[in-house]
Amino acid sequence: MGTLVEDLIEWGGGVLGEEHMETLMSCVQCGKCTGGCPSGRITALRTRKLFKMAQENMVEEIFNAPELWYCTTCYTCYERCPKGVKCTDIIRTIRNLAAKAGHMSVPHRKIGVYALKTGHGVPIGPDQMKIRESIGLDEMAPTTQKYKEQLEQFQTICKETGFDALIDFDWDKMNLKE
């Protein structure tokens, strides 16, 4: 393990490209990202501060900061940064590392449970089946929640990548452990 910046470049770089992640070092603390951030209006999220903390390797403080999870990934900051810092993707990558270090809320882990059980973050319920039928659709769309063998492909991906372990999923209970 290196510094937070090194870890971010390595982890995010593997998917988004290293150059993308290295833009974090171009942040000059101008605050334009924070000025346009809709979350900052009503939450403690301050993107400028977050990037400073990342540059200064304040790992524990960032991973434990509740505001890390108050970004909606709206990409306003990303679009407006005059230095080309890929703000939103850096935030997503910090979250990946925080999740790996065990900082993932129960509601977020539960979305993972829905996904592992049905292949959908938001599965269907009986009321919606009725609505579908009333407008001439099949009661269920032909997705992973309808076909077991297709769902198994989705589950295979999650086992291969360790997503099941990330959320602490119990395959016997088909729910979170504990």
Partner 1 sequence: MSEETKEYAYFLGCITPNRYPGIEVATKKVFKEFGIETKEMEGASCCPAPGVFGSFDMYTWLPIAARNLAIAEEMGLEIYVTCNGCYGSLQEADHLLKEHPKLKEKTNEILGKFGREYKGTTEVHHSIVIMHDDIGLDRLKEKVTKPMKDVNVAIHYGCHFLKPSEVRGHGSSETPYILEDIVKAIGAKDVDYKDKLMCCGAGGGVRTADTPTALEWTRQKLVSMIEEGADCVIHPCAFCHLQLDRGQYEMNEAFGTSFDLPVLYVLQLVALAMGFSEKELALDQQTTKMPEKLLK
**Where on the chain is the footprint of ligand SF4 (CB under 6 A)?**
27-33, 36-39, 47-48, 51, 71-77, 81, 83, 85, 87-88, 91
Q: In sequence order, what are the residues at sequence separation of 6 or more whose Cβ sits closer than 8 angstroms to the Cβ of residue 13?
A: 20, 21
- Using CB under 8 A as the binding rule, whether residue 102 contacts partner 1 is answered as no
Angle between helices 106-118 and 148-161 (to 10 degrees): 140
Nearest 5°: CA angle at 107, between 102 and 113?
Answer: 85
Which residue is it, tokens 């400073």?
Answer: 52
Q: Which two tokens stand for residue 173?
A: 């209970």
The count of C-alpha atoms lying within 13 angstroms of the C-alpha of 151, restricted to the half-sphere facing its C-beta, is 16
Closer residue to ligand SF4, CB minimum distance, 78 or 169:
78
Interaction of residue 176 with partner 1, rule CB under 8 A: no
Q: Which does 92 bind (CB under 5 to 8 A by kind): partner 1, ligand SF4, none?
A: partner 1
Query: Which listed residue (1, 102, 107, 126) binds partner 1 by CB under 8 A?
Result: 107
Q: Which does 24 bind (CB under 5 to 8 A by kind): partner 1, ligand SF4, none?
A: none
Q: Which of 120, 168, 175, 176 binds partner 1 (CB under 8 A)?
A: 120
Give the residue carrying structure tokens 């993707």: 89
Instruction: Name every residue whose Cβ is closer than 8 Å to that of residue 140 and which is 6 or more positions away in sequence.
Output: 124, 129, 132, 146
Question: Residue 128 corresponds to which tokens in the numbers above?
Answer: 């919606």
Chain residues in the site for partner 1 (CB under 8 A): 12, 14-17, 38-39, 41-43, 69-76, 78-79, 88, 91-93, 95-96, 99-100, 104-105, 107-108, 110-112, 115, 119-125, 128, 131-132, 134-137, 140-144, 147, 150-154, 156-158, 160-163, 166-167
